[in-house]
Structure formats: structure tokens, C-alpha cells
């Protein structure tokens, strides 16, 4: 059985829980409160030098970090990660897009908004973050206007990764009303996924 070191309000952790549930893979949840520095202890840093959750521990004790690397590992051989070389490349493209263009804007702004509001320093960065967040949503909308899921006709780990923070983007005060294709996609994923509890919404 897997051990999953996780912090329940984390969307990055949520992705992994969503896929574990969709695949009916049992796991032991080991909660680490990042706000209390529980991932910066010497013991945890031995497991993951980056000091971050989610962290997946295999039965043999080996550990995997980085939410999207964990998704790719767990999805291998399943419907969520098809074998076709180009399709896998497109899925990877979305996963890197998620970590570079989506999460640092949409997830970070949401974190600020749901943890006492942005500080003065964060307020100065807010317009740029909001603009970049909407730019990421624009890219998704354009694709979802053409195909029902991000990488084409079927739901893959690309959808799971981008669903995690998109479906709570409103908590970061992102207005999704101008994104009909994204809204349709959110509904399709919610209907399709074997949902886990979203502890923070």
C-alpha cells in the first residue's frame, strides 16, 4: 500500500488523491501541516529534499515528489495515460503548462485570498498574477472549445492536474463566467471522477 504525505487544502495533493481514488488504489494518508513547518523537519527532508507535499512513498520505502510526476507514475498503463507517443507528449505539455503558467498564478492567488488576504508585498504582485492566471485560462478555453478534454477525446492526467486548481479558482477571485468551455469541462470531470472530499471548499 502507498503512503501519501499530504496537506489536505493543497490542490497539488488533491490531484494525487483524485487519481488514487479514480484508480481505486488504497493508500495511507499521512498529514503534514505545511503552515506549521511539518515538511521542513529533518526527518521529512530525508524523504524529500525539497520539503514539499505531496510525497508518495512506495511499499519498498522509495519516495516520489512533484505532484505531476506522481500522476504520471500512477497512471502508467491506465486509461488516464494512453500509450500513443504524441498524445503522451501533449499530456506532458499540459502538465508542464500547469506547473509553470497556471499553478504559480491561480493557486498562489487563491492561497493568498484564503489565508488572511494578500500582504502589502503580495498586493503589488497581484495584478500581474491575475493577468497571467487569466492568460492560462484563455489557453485552456481555446483548447476546450475544440476538444472535450485537454488532450483530446478522453480524460487523462492532464485534466486531473488542471482540474485541481481550476475548480477552486473562484476562491482566488477569478471570474470564470466568461469561460463556457472550461465550465462544461469542469462539469464533465466532476461527473466522471470518483471524487474525493475537497476538504477546503
141-170: contacts with its own copies (CB under 8 A): 142-143
Distance CA 65, CA 72 (A): 11
In degrees, rounded to 5, the angle at the alpha carbon of residue 138 between the alpha carbons of residues 98 and 167 is 55
Backbone angles phi, psi at 199, to 5 degrees: -70, -20
Tell me which of 43, 85, 116, 177 binds its own copies, using CB under 8 A: 85
- Neighbour-count burial for 129-167, b at 16+ CB within 10 Å, e otherwise: bbebbbebbeebbebbeeeebbbbeebbbbbbbbbbbbb
* DSSP E strand stretches across the chain: 2-6, 27-31, 55-57, 63-64
Residue 64 interacts with its own copies (CB under 8 A): yes or no: yes
21 CB burial (10 A radius; 0-12, 13-18, 19+): middle
The stretch among 1-9, 80-88, 163-171, 182-190 that binds its own copies (CB under 8 A) is 80-88
Distance CA 38, CA 46 (A): 13
The stretch among 1-9, 88-96, 110-118, 168-176 that binds its own copies (CB under 8 A) is 88-96
Residue 104 interacts with its own copies (CB under 8 A): yes or no: yes
Across-strand partners of 29?
4
123-142: contacts with its own copies (CB under 8 A): 124-125, 138-139, 142
Q: Which is nearer to its own copies, 20 or 95 (CB)?
A: 95
The stretch among 13-21, 86-94, 167-175, 181-189 that binds its own copies (CB under 8 A) is 86-94
Tell me which of 34, 73, 111, 198 binds its own copies, using CB under 8 A: 73
Tell me which of 62, 117, 153, 191 binds its own copies, using CB under 8 A: 62
Q: Which is nearer to its own copies, 72 or 168 (CB)?
A: 72
Can you spell out the DSSP letters for 11-64?
HHHHHHHHHHHHTT--EEEEE--GGGTTTSSHHHHHH-TT--S-EEE-TTS-EE
The stretch among 15-23, 68-76, 109-117, 185-193 that binds its own copies (CB under 8 A) is 68-76
16-55: contacts with its own copies (CB under 8 A): 49-50
Q: Which is nearer to its own copies, 33 or 93 (CB)?
A: 93
Q: Which residues bind its own copies (CB under 8 A)?
A: 49-50, 58, 62, 64-70, 72-73, 76, 85-86, 88-90, 92-93, 95-97, 99-101, 103-104, 121, 124-125, 138-139, 142-143
Amino acid at each position: 500500500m502507498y503512503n501519501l504525505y499530504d496537506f489536505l487544502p493543497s490542490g497539488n495533493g488533491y490531484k494525487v488523491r483524485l487519481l488514487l481514488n479514480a484508480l481505486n488504489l488504497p493508500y495511507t494518508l499521512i498529514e503534514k501541516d505545511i503552515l506549521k513547518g511539518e515538511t521542513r523537519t529533518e526527518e521529512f527532508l530525508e524523504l524529500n529534499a525539497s520539503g514539499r507535499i505531496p510525497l508518495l512513498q512506495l511499499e519498498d520505502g522509495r519516495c516520489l515528489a512533484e505532484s505531476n510526476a506522481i500522476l504520471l507514475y500512477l497512471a502508467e498503463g491506465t486509461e488516464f495515460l494512453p500509450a500513443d507517443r504524441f498524445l503522451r507528449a501533449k499530456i506532458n505539455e499540459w502538465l508542464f503548462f500547469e506547473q509553470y503558467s497556471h499553478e504559480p498564478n491561480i493557486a498562489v492567488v487563491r492561497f493568498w485570498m484564503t489565508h488572511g488576504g494578500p500582504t502589502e508585498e503580495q498586493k503589488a504582485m497581484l495584478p500581474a498574477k491575475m493577468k497571467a492566471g487569466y492568460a492560462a485560462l484563455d489557453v485552456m478555453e481555446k483548447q476546450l472549445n475544440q476538444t472535450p478534454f485537454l488532450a483530446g477525446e478522453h480524460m487523462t492526467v492532464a485534466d486531473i492536474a488542471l482540474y485541481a486548481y481550476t475548480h477552486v479558482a473562484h476562491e482566488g477571485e477569478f471570474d470564470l463566467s466568461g469561460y463556457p468551455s472550461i465550465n462544461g469541462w469542469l462539469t464533465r470531470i466532476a461527473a466522471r471522477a470518483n471524487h474525493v472530499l475537497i476538504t477546503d471548499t
